Amino acid sequence: MAVTDTRWLDATELAAWRAFLNTSHLLERRIEEQLKATAGLTHPQYEILARLAEAPGRQMRMTELARVVVVSKSALTYQITQLEKAGLVERTTCPSDDRGVLAVLTEAGTRCLDRVAPGHVEVVRAYLIDRLSRAELDAMTSAMLRTEEALRTTA
């Protein structure tokens, strides 16, 4: 595509893009600050613990966990190693497939999540959820799901 063929963003589109970008960066920073202060966790580590807590048996295959937390397999392996060192997660082989590896939330991981989650929810509520109406939340969810679907199907 030549530069002259580029569909540049108009003023409305640019404003939406910048608002999304600025807000996502600022919110991510607030979340990181809260998680670091409360438990020394990064946001990806918290997300891993939360996803495992929601999973049947508090465990997931590493490949599926990488997909739902939207990280590469190598990035997930690094994060799981850090969480293992902290005693919050352990790895085990999948009983139905010797090549599969499961990440399992430990009791210490559950206690950590129980301690950290209330503060995390407070930040998410204070800076996002409670600032939007139900209609705005519905519209945001719809828009983000369409965007996620497009990103996942073209990856």
Residues 70-120: tens digit of each pLDDT:
888 899 999 999 999 999 999 999 888 777 899 999 999 999 999 999 999
User: What confidence tier does 1 reach under pLDDT thresholds 50, 70, 90?
Assistant: low
For the sheet containing 89-94, what is the strand order? 59-61, 97-105, 89-94
Please answer whether residues 41 and 35 qualify as being in contact, where contact means their C-beta atoms are separated by less than 8 angstroms: yes
Q: Domain 12-153 maps to which CATH number in 3.40.50.300, 3.40.50.2300, 1.10.10.10, 3.40.50.10860? A: 1.10.10.10
Cα(40)–Cα(33) distance, integer angstroms: 9
Kindly report, residue by residue over 116-142, the tens digit of the pLDDT: 999 999 999 999 999 999 999 999 999
Q: DSSP secondary-structure letter at 139?
A: H
> Does the structure show a pLDDT above 70 at 49?
yes
* CB-based contacts of 27, cutoff 8 Å, min separation 6: 123, 124, 127, 128
pLDDT at residue 70 in the model: 87
* CB-based contacts of 103, cutoff 8 Å, min separation 6: 48, 52, 59, 60, 61, 62, 65, 80, 89, 90, 91
Collapsed DSSP state (helix, strand, coil) of residue 84: helix
Percent of residues, the chain, with pLDDT higher than 90: 87
Please answer whether residues 103 and 93 qualify as being in contact, where contact means their C-beta atoms are separated by less than 8 angstroms: no
Q: Can you give the residue ranges of every domain in the chain? A: 12-153
Q: What is the mean pLDDT of residues 19-37?
A: 97
Collapsed DSSP state (helix, strand, coil) of residue 94: strand
**How big is the CA angle at 21 (ends 18 and 23), to the nearest 5 degrees?**
105
pLDDT at residue 3 in the model: 61
Mean pLDDT, the chain, integer: 94
Please answer whether residues 123 and 34 qualify as being in contact, where contact means their C-beta atoms are separated by less than 8 angstroms: yes
